[in-house]
Amino acid sequence: MRLTFALIPLAFLAGCTKPAPTPAPAQEATETYHYPPRPTVPAPPIKLFHQDEDTLTLTTIPNATDDQVAAILWQLHDTFRAHTFAALHLPQTFIDARHPKIWFHIYRGPKCANEKFTHGKYPCGAKYNGAGDYTLGSLNNPNYEEAALRHADGSETALWNPEAPPKP
């Protein structure tokens, strides 16, 4: 019995010790994507190469730089906002009637531009050779816009945040 009474104070003391501090939860690293600045070079001319029910394939000069292709993508963005696709010789009524979206594929020159419509051997190899892509519309938002500059290694650079509110 004495032993039981002797252990009670020890048990009480053991319960009164401060618990080891728990480390603060590690803050989740939020990855920030840095969109490239809008190019200052003018957009080179574009030409409608092919049209189907939800896609416009456009070509530009064969030696267009990445900045020039980005300028075309920004030009499409501006043209959508101004409702002036016809000024670029693109079918405004087709674009207005999109359901729910339209893809614009930009190619450097016409050599590889028919890769999505060819049967048999691809003109530039069995990979996507577009220089840039612009998406207009989505299932939930007809004004959704997304643009990406495509690189030779298959990577791409997004030009703006499609979820951000539009700027005037």
pLDDT of residue 118: 80
pLDDT tens sequence across 114-124? 988 888 888 88
Q: b/e string for 64-73 if b means 16 or more Cβ within 10 A?
A: bebebbbbbb
**For every one of its 168 residues, what pLDDT tens digit does the chain have, with 9 covering 90 and above?**
454 555 555 554 555 555 556 665 655 555 677 889 999 999 999 999 999 999 999 999 999 999 999 999 999 999 999 999 999 999 999 998 888 999 999 999 999 999 888 888 888 888 889 999 999 999 888 889 999 999 988 899 999 988 876 665
- Residue 49's contacts (CB-CB under 8 Å, 6 or more residues apart) are 57, 58, 59, 107, 110, 113, 114
Percent of the chain with pLDDT over 70: 79
User: How far from 83 is each of 32, 45, 95, 168, CA to CA, in Å?
Assistant: 32, 19, 10, 14
What is the sign of the dihedral through the CA atoms of 130, 65, 36 and 85? negative
pLDDT tens sequence across 36-63? 999 999 999 999 999 999 999 999 999 9
- Eight-state DSSP code of residue 86: G
The length of the chain in residues reads 168
**Pairing label, strands 47-51, 55-60:** antiparallel
Q: Which residue do the tokens 């890769």 mark? A: 115
pLDDT of residue 6: 52
Q: Give the global pTM.
A: 0.78
